Structure 1
Amino acid sequence: MELFINSSFLYISLRPLNSTAGEKTVYDICKDMPAVIIWYLGLQFINMFLGIPANLMVLWLIHKNKRDSSTSDIFILHLAILDILFCLTPPLELANIVFLTSSNTWYVLRFFYGLKDSSPLFLSCICLDRYMAVVHPITFTNLKDRHHRAVLAILVWLTTLAYAAAKCVGNIVNFEKVFTAMILAAFAFMVLCNITILWVLRQSGPGRDEMHPLKKRAFKMVLIILAIIVFNYFPPVALLPFQEYFSPEVFRCYIHYVAFGLMDFSSSIQPMLYLSKEKLNCCQCGSTQIRVTC
């Protein structure tokens, strides 16, 4: 029994590549436990109506403030573009889950699922940039030229598109292990970076209750970001050791949609966090000014 099945591979199991018009829809297969699928689709449409305008606003603010932009803004910009693309999928996803029996449109959805699967890579870049600014400010200052960040963003996009294209094919043996490794590595990296940042900021004052106001705001901001990372990305990570304890039907129609519904909703939470903290996004770390929004 496989340890992990993500969105596309679950849908392949439900919708074989040679499906015919006489086969059942995903909703029909899960008709005995439809509540979570309905919740998932509702969450996806909220994600579309909230995430698209929020991410567009993020793009507009970054463009408007480009002369006073953060070093992390290049990654935030690309993450917003990726999330906008993913937020366009709910109508097609609704049609495929509830109405359509053809497998052809799943190729399109699998490509967009591949884009979303790779979003932790951009989040990891943001967390790395913030980690360097707080923990290694001298090195960060020496690397303040953003050329290497643009190169890193291009490499992430190439990796993302290659992953999404491979996922779109849908018949690569053991390909789900790529997602397993990627999400586990990114989750662990982001949590480690943010915990280290919190520790450094907490230790930055001469006393336990004497932190500089700017650093205190940075501390609270990173704490919120860490909570969101855990909320959005811990559920699929938590499935790894426990999938075998669920029946295939329960995992396919219930556990899967809970975990990935929360992960997908990060497309709305991330830009809303950026927008809510945009006015309070700078702190002083030594002689280096950093943006703490992720």
Structure 2
Amino acid sequence: MNNSTVNFTTPESSTTYSFGLFDIMEMYAHSISFLFGLPTNFYVLWLIITGTESGVASMFFQLNLSVCEIGICVNSLFFIFAFWFSSLKTLVYFLIGLAITGRPLFQCLMCVERYLAVVHPVTFLKYKPLRYRVICSATAWIITLGSCFSSMFLPLNTIEQTWFFSVQFILFISIQLFCLVAVLRALKQSGPGERGRERKEENNMKRRAFHLILITTVNMVIIYAPYTVTGLFTIVTKQNIRALWSICLLCFLLLGFVQPLLFLYHAEKLSCLCSSKAM
């Protein structure tokens, strides 16, 4: 291990485990992800299923994203245990596909859905029934499952995984940026012959869609861009700097809370929690 190490010895087997400084940092980050991310995403899932917001149909992509996030949180627990039980590493590598492909893919679907609702409302109404969302989600899960199997055979921080990861990131971020710009243009334009109240309601809908896509896009950039840059840096310089990968992991795990907190904010659950603490 790089840097200073801390030795942990078990009395029963007298086995010494040597943890580096960055190993300990990553274990703390994964612990936070599991302890706080798991209940938060389960709460979001429960709110969607029980009919909070507009029901399961309109929040179907958010529901699938929450399931994906739960899998990522559980993988954080497996990551910690893998330090002692090496047999869990295969499962950890498999579930990495949820983080590499599942999370950005469902975030991208949410952005495309908001884009259609604002820019192409007729098309959105045509494909609004739940069955179309189920088809899109099933396709997304098949792609994610393929990514999970690929992650098992592509070791971490290698050239192959870096290119595999970078191509997906560029693709997803390009789609989100396109949706962001299109919604922004629609926000600046007002339809002819609209009444003041109707125009205001439509602008509010466009503004909410723009803010959601903007936050999701910025969140994706902060989460995945460091991994892409660090991976390309490693390929070009042939230097594998552990500190850079640890910083990438911290950004990935800690910013994973943005999406569920954004949902709770729109569901007006964060304000309830704040007011209850203030009382």
Same fold (TM > 0.5)? yes
Q: Which residue of 2 aligns with 1:227?
A: 218
Asked if residue 121 in structure 1 is aligned to residue 112 in structure 2, the reply is no
Q: Which has the higher helix share?
A: 2
Q: How many residues align?
A: 243
- Please list the CA deviations of residues 41-95 of structure 1 after superposition, one character each: whole Å capped at 9, or x if unmatched: 3222111111111111111111121793375511111111111122013333224
Q: Which residue of 2 aligns with 1:196?
A: 182
Query: 1:22-61, aligned counterparts within 5 Å?
Result: 31=20, 34=21, 36-61=22-47
State percent identity of aligned pairs: 25
Alignment gaps of 5+ in structure 2: 1-15, 270-279
Asked if residue 273 in structure 1 is aligned to residue 262 in structure 2, the reply is yes
Q: Which moved more, 1:120-129 or 1:87-96?
A: 87-96
Report the CA distance shift for 1:204/1:46 in structure 2 as closer, same or farther (over 3 A): farther
Q: Which residue of 2 aligns with 1:187?
A: 173
The answer to whether the Cα contact below 8 Å between 2:37 and 2:257 also exists between their aligned partners in 1 is yes
Please give the root-mean-square deviation of Cα atoms over the aligned residues, in Å. 3.2
Alignment gaps of 5+ in structure 1: 1-23, 281-294
* C-alpha distance in structure 2 between counterparts of 1:40 and 1:105, whole Å: 17
Shift of the alpha carbon at 1:219?
Answer: 4.1
Query: 1:93-104, aligned counterparts within 5 Å?
Result: 93-96=79-82, 99-100=83-84, 103-104=86-87
Higher relative contact order (Cα pairs below 8 Å, separated by 6+ residues): 1
Shift of the alpha carbon at 1:275?
Answer: 0.7
The answer to whether the Cα contact below 8 Å between 2:173 and 2:217 also exists between their aligned partners in 1 is no
Normalised by the length of structure 1, the TM-score is: 0.70
Q: Which residue of 2 aligns with 1:256?
A: 245
Q: Which residue of 2 aligns with 1:153?
A: 137
Normalised by the length of structure 2, the TM-score is: 0.74
Which one-letter code corresponds to 2:204 in the other structure? L
* C-alpha distance in structure 2 between counterparts of 1:241 and 1:167, whole Å: 18
Q: Which residue of 2 aligns with 1:82?
A: 68
Shift of the alpha carbon at 1:38?
Answer: 3.3
